[in-house]
Every structure is written in C-alpha cells, then in structure tokens.
Amino acid sequence: MTSKERVLAACRHEQPDRVPLQVYLTPEIRAALQAHFGDRDILEALGVDLRHVGAPYTAERGPGPGLPGRADSYDIFGTGYTNKHYEGGTYPEATELPFADMDSVDEVEAYPWPDPDDYDYSALRERAEALGEYAVVFGGAGIPDIVNGVSRARGMERVLVDIMTNDPVGIAIIDHRVEHYYEHCRRALEAAGGAIDILALGEDCGDQRGRLFPPQAFDDFFVPRIKPFIDLAHEHGCLAMLHSCGDTHEIMPTFVEMGLDILDAMQPEPAGMDPATIKR
C-alpha cells in the first residue's frame, strides 16, 4: 500500500497493512532525530504517511496597533511572541496581546485584520500533486483554533468568559478569526484542484480531566463555527481532520454528527480516552 492508500483505507474503516502514522515534532526533538538519522528524511525514516502543503503568507507581520513592538516575532494577527527558555527547550510565548484591552465592537471592526488575499496559492496544486503517494494535508491545528488562537491575543480567562457569557466584543474577535480562516481554506482547496486529501483543523476541546465546556455550550458555540469547515472539506472531496488535546470522549458523538472523519489525536492519558475502549 502507498501511504495515501493506507490512510484512506483506514478512514473507510478497512484494515490497512499497518496503522497510518502522523507525527508532531518540537524543534528540539526534530533536531535530535535529524542527528540520529543523519541525511535521511525524518518523515521517511519514521514511516509517516501524511505530508503537509501550505500557501505562504506574503504580507508583513508586525505588532498590532498600540503594542510596544519588542517581541521576538509576530503572527498574522499582530500578537507578539517572546522566546522563553526552559529545561526541555525554547518556546515562543505570547507577550504582546493586541485584543486584551478591547471593550467595544467598534474597536474590533477597526482593527487591521489579515486578508485572505495575502497568501500565495499559486504553487499549491503543483506541490500537492508532487506528493501523490502520500495523504496530502492542507491546514493545521491553528485553524480555526478558537480557544488557543484567540487566547494568545486576548488572554485565556477572558476568552473562556467571552464564550460562556456570549460577550459581543469577544464573539466579534472570534468570528473575525473564523471567517478569515474559512475563506483562506476555501481559496486553498479551490487552487489545489482536488489534489488535497485532508483538510486539517484544530480546536482543543478537553483537558486532562475532561471536556473544557459543557456539551450544550459546545453544541451552541463551537459546532456552528467548526462544521462549515467540515462541510467545505467534503464539498472539495477531502476528509476533515480535527486536532484536539485532552479528553474529548463525551463529545465524540457530536463529532460524528458534524461529519468529522479523523480525530487527531487520541490522547491516551485522560481516564476517558482509552483507545481500545473507544474503538469498540
């Protein structure tokens, strides 16, 4: 079996020749693996079956209005990140938060939001077709990534309160992010001309002890914002894959109702996430 055949067979609930593999690597782990494997491609050496393609963001990245501009790097929304050094490695942490003090919808609407035009989609189809033996993935865990993504720009506690109280300012911020990424994905899938196998999405719905939100809150708030991405994938002949950390077993029936094809990943540590039990 090729990697593509292996992944697609598993998603059809057919028995492949082996379990398909996906991997996420921190820079430190990647460097250690590269030192171990030498000149060999890490993904090839590990037998990873998925390959990712993207559309580069071409606009300038910089601090949001009013931020000091002293961070080490900035994302497309103007959030600043400072590299923090720990025993296990170096990680960028959000230190300049452009939405932290926003308290009116007018401020949200006036913000210089990124534009889906600011990506280069021109080579997407060619790159995807060149990876034809693999399951080709577009997107990632940061799309739409409501809780984590917006928290980095507004603060975790405030975002959780925004969601649970339906705060109009917080919801406006969230919906700008969701709408940006939906249009970005739509343009990318159109540009790829059917060469993408999987649209990858992300939303951390659980922690080590259980779900982050009550089922009704997930149904009312998250489903209307995530399901359109799943529908978009299916409209373009793709599978939809959602990354979520933590314990999600209580909302897995909702994932099925939404049409989700792949849950990435099955984090086994929480009590409700035994893979064998869930597979049965």
Cα torsion angle, 158, 164, 165, 167, sign? positive
pLDDT of res. 175: 99
Strand runs labelled E in 97-134: none
Q: Say if residues 111 and 65 touch (Cβ distance below 8 Å).
A: yes
Give per-residue pLDDT as tens, 6-21. 999 999 999 999 999 9
- Domains of the chain (ranges; CATH) run 49-279 (3.20.20.210)
pLDDT of res. 181: 99
Neighbouring C-beta atoms of residue 244, cutoff 10 Å: 22
Instruction: Please list, in sequence order, all residues whose beta carbon lies within 8 angstroms of the beta carbon of residue 6, skipping any fewer than 6 positions away.
Output: 16, 17, 18, 20, 49, 135
Cα 27 from Cα 30, distance rounded (Å): 5
Q: What is the pTM of this model?
A: 0.95
**Closest by CA position to 82, among listed 100, 66, 95, 64:** 95
Structure tokens at 262: 């792949």
Give per-residue pLDDT as tens, 82-113. 999 998 888 999 999 999 999 999 999 999 99
* Residues listed for the chain: 280
